Structure 1
Amino acid sequence: MKMFRKREGFLVAINQKPRRFTRSPYFHEQFMEEARRQGKSVVFWERARNPSLVFVNDWTVDFARLEAYRKSGIKIVLRIDGAGIKDSRNPRKDNIIYQTSEFCDALIFQSEFCKEIWQRSFGLNKPNYIILNGADQRVFSRYGPKTDFGFKRMIVTAARWRQWKGLDQVIEVFLKLKREDTGLVVMGDDSKVPAHPSIKATGKLAHSEMAKIFRKADLFLYLPWQDWCPKVVAQALVSGLPVVCSYRGGTKELVQDCGIIVHGAKDDDLEDFGPNPVNLDEAVNAVNSLLEKGERCRERQDLYLSTMVTRYFEVFEKVLEQN
């Protein structure tokens, strides 16, 4: 039975409705549950008659609602998830995220990288803040049951696999390791892995099942062309896993000193979001180094979901104080 503290403070209305009975909650679902656990008042915006503040996650096409809020003097905060650019020559064209931002009083970026891309593409003339994504520390705890795949050493990776997530690079690095004692476990939808006795694909898993694999693993390997601030990396770090990741994007801002960052061929080209192959030798050396070290990373309370939600509400309070 879930226990929540008595509601206090101001009312926040959020644009996305939570699903019922999900084992892999989305950002807004985790946000709402943790905020309520902390005693905050957060509701789906269709259920909020007079919210103090509106929190838009990612984007909305309900511009009439945003305009009505704005005319009523209700503050609107947008969490930027990506940049929504379809045409690099005209980044504002058919860009729902940018269109949503025009109604907002403040922006929250997931990473410095996310802010930099936004500023280069659209300019930045609103109050803005950076809050890294967090992971539910109650689920992704270092302690608890583990899932054993029979490998002496285990590397894990996870994503909703699309081409730019770089699974091909992960597999290429793993095969180049040539470590007979080490296996690779690939979690997530749409993973295409070769038939290999040391590579296991699990498909999509509940967060609780992912946590069991993280606890057993030795490191997390994540090599996308670029990424804004991947929640799965926060989950791995909170679970205690050191991370080997690619340089371009916001992932390195999560990892900090809890892993090794490897470089790609186009790290400095922020205009090109296409393939950015990592230096394979550098990646292999990084993985071998962490496997030989054999240590968990330091405690990452800064990436706890509870810490993240607290920071959001600190921003909300600042926005409400704006004239």
Structure 2
Amino acid sequence: MLYVGRVSPEKDIDIVLDTYYSLANHVKEDTHLVMVGDGPLYKTLYEQHQENITWTGFLEGEQLARVYASSDVFLFPSPTETLGNVVLEALASGLPVVGANEGGIKNLVANGKSGFLCEPGNRTHLLSKRLSY
């Protein structure tokens, strides 16, 4: 699982972490979360969440492309995106996107085809969609 973006409250990082932690034990054993980005919550979350989570900090260029290419699903619950460049990057890398049905993201993800759109802030909806892949 992959998240790329600013590590800040308005990005609903807590929902990304909740989604990861909610995986059934048999699925979680084979699942790894990669958190790419930096921001005001980075240090605190990095210190609190280590189990099968890789915190890379800010990446760009070839390093970032490798992370996209090595992932299976892109989680992006933020309802505040106006464009969503990271969503475009994920889609261009062939990753299905599970994201908020809000802002620019709803115009980028073909619901049920290139990913799933979820009600913003609705953890239960997002959690149910991540199992579809």
Match of 2:37 among 170, 182, 188: 188
1:172 counterpart = 2:18: yes
Of 262, 265, 274, which residue of structure 1 is paired with 2:118?
A: 262
Gaps of 5+ in 2: none
The normalised TM-score by structure 2 is: 0.85
Per the TM alignment, residue 254 of structure 1 is displaced from its structure 2 partner at its CA by: 1.0
Identity %: 30
Relative contact order higher in (CA < 8 Å, ≥ 6 apart): 2
For 1:282, the equivalent position in structure 2 comes to: 125
Q: Which of residues 57, 60, 71 is equivalent to 1:203?
A: 57
Q: Of the candidates 74, 77, 90, which is equivalent to residue 220 of structure 1?
A: 74
**d(CA) in 2 for partners of 1:180, 1:249:** 34
Q: List per-residue Cα deviations over 1:239-276 (Å, max 9, x = no partner).
A: 11000001121112111230001113xxxxxxxxxxxx
Q: Distance in 2 between matches of 1:230 and 1:262?
A: 15
1:208 CA drift (Å): 1.2
Alignment of 1:60-209 (within 5 A): 155-178=1-24, 179-190=28-39, 191=42, 192-193=45-46, 194-209=48-63
Q: Tell me, in whole angstroms, the C-alpha distance in 1 between the residues paired with 2:52 and 2:70.
A: 15
TM-score normalized by the length of structure 1: 0.37
CA contact (8 A) 1:226 1:246 kept: no
Structure of higher CA gyration radius: 1
- The SS at the match of 1:164 is helix
Amino acid corresponding to residue 283 of structure 1 in structure 2: L
Q: Counterparts of 1:196 and 1:160 in 2: how far apart (Å)?
A: 18
Query: What 5-or-longer segments of structure 1 have no aligned partner?
Result: 1-154, 265-276, 291-323
SS of 2:3's partner is strand
DSSP-derived class of the 2:132 partner = helix
Q: Is residue 176–residue 284 contact of structure 1 (8 Å, CA) maintained in 2? A: yes
Q: Secondary structure at the match of 1:250?
A: helix
Quote the offset at 1:195 in angstroms: 2.7
- Secondary structure of 2:90's counterpart equals helix
Separation in structure 1 between the aligned mates of residue 61 and residue 96 of structure 2, nearest angstrom: 19
Alignment correspondent of 1:246: 100
Measure the CA separation in 1 of the matches of 2:49 and 2:75.
Answer: 19
The alpha-carbon deviation at position 230 of structure 1 amounts to 1.0
C-alpha offsets along residues 38-60 of structure 1, whole Å, 9 cap, x if unaligned?
xxxxxxxxxxxxxxxxxxxxxxx
- Aligned residue pairs, count: 123
